[in-house]
Structure 1
Amino acid sequence: MDVGISSEQRDKFRRMLAWVVCAAVIAGVGWTGASCLRQQADDPRPMTDAEAQRLSRVNVNNYKAGAVPFTADLPDSAGGGGFDGQIDWSQPVMHAEVAKEGKSTPHTLVQAVPGLVASREGTTRADAPVPEDDWTVRHMGQENRRGDDPQAATVDIIASAVLTLRSGRAADSQILKAKGSWLRQGVIDGATVDVFRAPLLLDAAASDDGQKLPEAVFWVDGESRLRRIQFNPGATSLATVDFLLSKKDVAKVHPVDLLGGAPIDPRKVTKAEAENLAGLRQRNSLGGADADITLPVADGKVIRAKGYVDWRAPMAYLAVDAPGKKNDGLLFVLPSGAATLRTEVDGKPPLQPQANGWKAQAWSERSEDGKPSDIDALLFKVLSMANPQIDNATVVKDKAAWLREDKLGSTATEVYEYPIPGDPDTDEPGQAAFRYWIGSKDDALHRIEMRTRKLGMAHVDLKPTDQPAAVVVPAPVAAGLGG
């Protein structure tokens, strides 16, 4: 398991916070403005060594805390409303509900991980079981969102800032002492706290790159636990986030599938697991599956498709519900390419589609930049999961990794990554382009997950069958794709 923030994650955070600074300037409010971060009753003084050391351990304690409930009020100038849920810095993931000002329903469920935010409209509360469907995903902190949806933009900023408050080691207390100050004492939830003004990124306070770091107000108790944080999210007033440490036994929430799901704990596969994986594609080649695809393609936009896979052919046939009804249609996928028919769709495609109106394209014709799109890469992967020959178990044993146990509905599965000819190599376990969910009892393939270029994880859910649907391939499709 990881400890602290990786360099890649830290870069994402710092880019995000640089955007926050720009947003604050546009709003006419500086991160470091005394009117924002200081109350009239404050009498700032330098921190003592003991106070600086206490502040330096905040992020370590956050990392160890598990799931922590929080509540926040969004500034009126950023759309107002409530923002309540929980954060687990060890994963890290934030899970919360966002309510519009003065409205209890409907509201938005959000989940945030470094760089991405998933959202779902509806009436489900943050403390209810996490719904599995109808989520979309967006990049965190897109600059053009502030004018269109200031509340979503502010949620992104708050989430990105709070997610940074984690580390596997204490920050440099002497640097915090030099760059921060003690403001006052207070009481939160019955606990006496010291209130400090310091760089928001405690671990980055030692940076000597000349960049002005955003600041925050930290409310820290005697055990170095963070009770409250205040900072400017680019509005005309501060955002205040209270961490409700007195609440116990908070149910742990994992990221939704589009954000990668539960944390992984990779290990090498056993000999038996390698042999089972090596035979997977041969087993698939004897049958097929019903397929259900979910693929994020742009901020807030997801392609969903339902249909059939016949690995004996091999062939896939899908009804595609794409963003914008004019993009909906039927889709045949063969090893040589794909054929599309623009039409309204509702559920699974008809087993006997119309013969005319299809547009057949080789894979090379569907690529604009020489690389397959996410949808094409996923579709081709589905077909490639069948082979009449058993794969090399020795290669699988050397390259594959077991990632975690999981459940797909009521089906218990083991999640693996392992190399198939044509897959790119990876430097470390858990970073492969594809993951495979194998039934713990039936050894069948129940899900393929794919890491998209920019928007988290796509997946194909599969219900295996030894009698695939009897789909009639239109003659123009067969002729156009050599089927």
Structure 2
Amino acid sequence: MGATARRPRADPPLGRRPPVAPVEPPADPQLDGTDDPPERPTRRRAALVALAAAATASAAALVAGLLSWSPEPADPAGTVRPLTAVEAERLAALRVTNLRDVRAGVRVTLGAGGGRTELVGWVDWARPLVYLDVGGPGAGAERGLVQGTASTLLVRPDPAATPAPAPPPLVPPDDRWRLREPPAGSGLPAVRDLLLGLGTVRIDPPSPEARWLRREIVDDVPVDVLQAPLPVLQGAGSAPDRRPRLWVDRDARLHRLAGWLPDGTPVTVELARSDRPTLRPVDALGGRPGLPRALSDGEADRLARLPDRLRAAGGATLTVTAPSADLRGSGWLSWAGSAAYLSVVEADDPGRRTLVRARPGSVARLVVPAGGATGPPLPAPDGLVRAAGRPPGDDVERLVDAALRGAGSAVPATAAVRVRDDRVADRAVDVIEVRGRLRWWIDRSGLPRRLELRTGRGVWVRLDLAPGRVPALPGAERPVRKPAKRR
């Protein structure tokens, strides 16, 4: 066996592979930069300085932006545009639409913050009349009820009322109403003028300054928010940013108004279009609405017989109520003697009273301490008896003079209208208005229970009458007795 025996090759264990030497890629001088030429120190330093400066500028800009940031304006300039033809027509018809709807509920905020005054109630554009409850932290002495017409403002102060206003009672109280004439252009007169001025009989002319701002939803009603001048707020300024904003629906109904009064006070008015009860003016503003008509035959007969009934009744106890002068009075009136005698006390001067002696066309006065009595003293003081008479001058004197002259000539039925039926002193009466300035409240027996006189301010002063026997009055005529016939 000459052949050399070869040793068998040892196989690796099952499942194990022989180790493989790792293969590294050759070095690439373009990737690792080892072969790059060294960078110059000046270039590196300049780059670092530039980066630091950029970072500093960015930080400064960020801080300045945070400090000067403010919310975007409610009406971005990009949304403001002139009105379309349809929108302009709705704006022009806004005040006519209010008059057509007759009435609406209102909530007015006057001023802002802790000094604001809040008013809640209604406006009747057809009458016209506003009836409001005044409250809020800034109401002060004006807290209470207010009724106003275009020419008259009556207030009923109630300092003890709750600060938050509430809708006033539909049947207003019949006492403590006073006439107020504060300066126009601010406070309650300005609110009254604004509310009543939102109604008119004619469409307003086009307003080229009007602008459309945006759309909103008010009480589930889609509205367009417009900015336009209003005739009723002309004194508030003509600058674009002082023009009121109006929330108007597609039927030309106003739902909200935000603007400034003529004195610069901010005002917001919210209207409840479905809150439309019939309003009742207080007696000083004419009382419950009626349906004036011509007199019936029975009413005309009672009016024609009124002078005879007055002379037959002899006289009456009287009570005077005059919100126009904020006073009350009481006394007697004699139709048989053509004289009246009463005592008048003004609310602003309760420490004294004025005694009044009246005859048709003549009045005498005497001021005395009030004392504890309410009626005039009997007998009358000599100073009043000797005082010279003069023509009637104020509302109360003219009212008493009209009552005395009622016993003169009869009033023709064609000069009178029946305003309504009513009740006074638990008696049914017909309210008959004569020539637009006198109202006789005549019961079914033909006797008067009340007489009202309309003043130049549009306020009715009142004389309540209780026909019956009266004492001897100063200045009264004594009846002339015919001599007895001799038998």
TM-score calculated relative to the size of structure 1: 0.71
2:63 equivalent to 1:59:
no
- 1:437–1:155: structure 2 CA closer, same or farther, 3 Å change rule? same
**How big is each residue's C-alpha offset from its partner over 1:60-80, in whole Å with a ceiling of 9 and x where there is no partner?**
332233442211222048941
Name the counterpart of 1:433.
Answer: 437
Distance 1:438 1:170 in 2: 43
2:353 equivalent to 1:328:
yes
Segments of 5+ residues of structure 1 without an aligned counterpart are: 1-37, 147-152, 206-210, 420-431
Contact 1:341 1:357 in 2 (8 A): no
Distance 2:101 2:269 in 1: 16
The code of the aligned residue for 1:142 comes to P
Residues matched between the structures, number: 391
Name the counterpart of 1:376.
Answer: 397
2:110 to 58, 74, 84: 74
2:341 equivalent to 1:317:
yes
Query: How far has the Cα of 1:242 moved from its partner?
Result: 0.4
Name the counterpart of 2:225.
Answer: 195
**Secondary structure of residue in 2 paired with 1:454:** coil
The code of the aligned residue for 2:447 comes to A
The code of the aligned residue for 2:176 comes to D
**How big is each residue's C-alpha offset from its partner over 1:36-59, in whole Å with a ceiling of 9 and x where there is no partner?**
xx9544632111111122223322
The code of the aligned residue for 1:156 comes to P
2:166 equivalent to 1:165:
no
1:224 to 239, 249, 252: 252
2:446 to 429, 437, 443: 443
- 1:99–1:256: structure 2 CA closer, same or farther, 3 Å change rule? same
Name the counterpart of 1:83.
Answer: 119
Query: How far has the Cα of 1:317 moved from its partner?
Result: 2.2
**Secondary structure of residue in 1 paired with 2:194:** helix
Distance 2:141 2:274 in 1: 27
Name the counterpart of 1:107.
Answer: 143
**Secondary structure of residue in 2 paired with 1:167:** coil
Name the counterpart of 2:43.
Answer: none
Name the counterpart of 1:256.
Answer: 282
Distance 1:321 1:116 in 2: 23
- 1:326–1:278: structure 2 CA closer, same or farther, 3 Å change rule? same
Name the counterpart of 1:45.
Answer: 81
Query: How far has the Cα of 1:100 moved from its partner?
Result: 4.0
Q: Pairwise mapping of residues 447-458 of structure 1 onto structure 2 (< 5 A)?
A: 447-454=450-457, 456-458=459-461
Segments of 5+ residues of structure 2 without an aligned counterpart are: 1-72, 478-487
Distance 1:277 1:212 in 2: 59
Name the counterpart of 2:168.
Answer: 127
Name the counterpart of 2:306.
Answer: 280
Name the counterpart of 1:423.
Answer: none
Contact 1:374 1:453 in 2 (8 A): no
Contact 1:229 1:242 in 2 (8 A): yes
Contact 2:131 2:168 in 1 (8 A): no
The code of the aligned residue for 2:455 comes to T
Name the counterpart of 2:154.
Answer: 118
**Secondary structure of residue in 1 paired with 2:192:** helix
> How much identity, in percent, do the aligned residues show?
26
Name the counterpart of 1:239.
Answer: 267
Distance 2:246 2:380 in 1: 65
Higher RCO (C-alpha under 8 Å, 6+ residues apart): 1
Contact 1:290 1:309 in 2 (8 A): yes
- 1:118–1:216: structure 2 CA closer, same or farther, 3 Å change rule? same
Query: How far has the Cα of 1:363 moved from its partner?
Result: 4.1
- 1:77–1:234: structure 2 CA closer, same or farther, 3 Å change rule? farther
Distance 2:227 2:203 in 1: 17
- 1:409–1:54: structure 2 CA closer, same or farther, 3 Å change rule? farther
Query: How far has the Cα of 1:303 moved from its partner?
Result: 2.1
1:289 to 303, 316, 326: 316
Distance 1:318 1:462 in 2: 13
Contact 1:285 1:312 in 2 (8 A): yes
Name the counterpart of 1:154.
Answer: 187
The code of the aligned residue for 1:127 comes to P
**How big is each residue's C-alpha offset from its partner over 1:367-426, in whole Å with a ceiling of 9 and x where there is no partner?**
6xxxx3323211211211224xx626xxx133222233344464443222336xxxxxxx
1:401 to 417, 420, 429: 417
1:303 to 327, 346, 365: 327
Contact 1:99 1:105 in 2 (8 A): no
**Secondary structure of residue in 1 paired with 2:200:** coil
Distance 1:445 1:320 in 2: 22
Query: How far has the Cα of 1:193 moved from its partner?
Result: 0.9
Distance 2:266 2:404 in 1: 52
Contact 2:358 2:400 in 1 (8 A): yes
- 1:313–1:354: structure 2 CA closer, same or farther, 3 Å change rule? closer
Q: Pairwise mapping of residues 173-184 of structure 1 onto structure 2 (< 5 A)?
A: 175-176=206-207, 178-184=208-214
- 1:111–1:41: structure 2 CA closer, same or farther, 3 Å change rule? farther
Name the counterpart of 2:469.
Answer: 468
Contact 1:117 1:138 in 2 (8 A): yes
**Secondary structure of residue in 1 paired with 2:137:** coil
Tell me how large the CA RMSD over aligned residues is.
3.4
**Secondary structure of residue in 2 paired with 1:166:** coil
The code of the aligned residue for 1:257 comes to D
**Secondary structure of residue in 1 paired with 2:452:** strand
TM-score calculated relative to the size of structure 2: 0.71
Distance 1:53 1:118 in 2: 36
**Secondary structure of residue in 1 paired with 2:173:** coil
Contact 2:280 2:288 in 1 (8 A): yes
- 1:318–1:100: structure 2 CA closer, same or farther, 3 Å change rule? farther
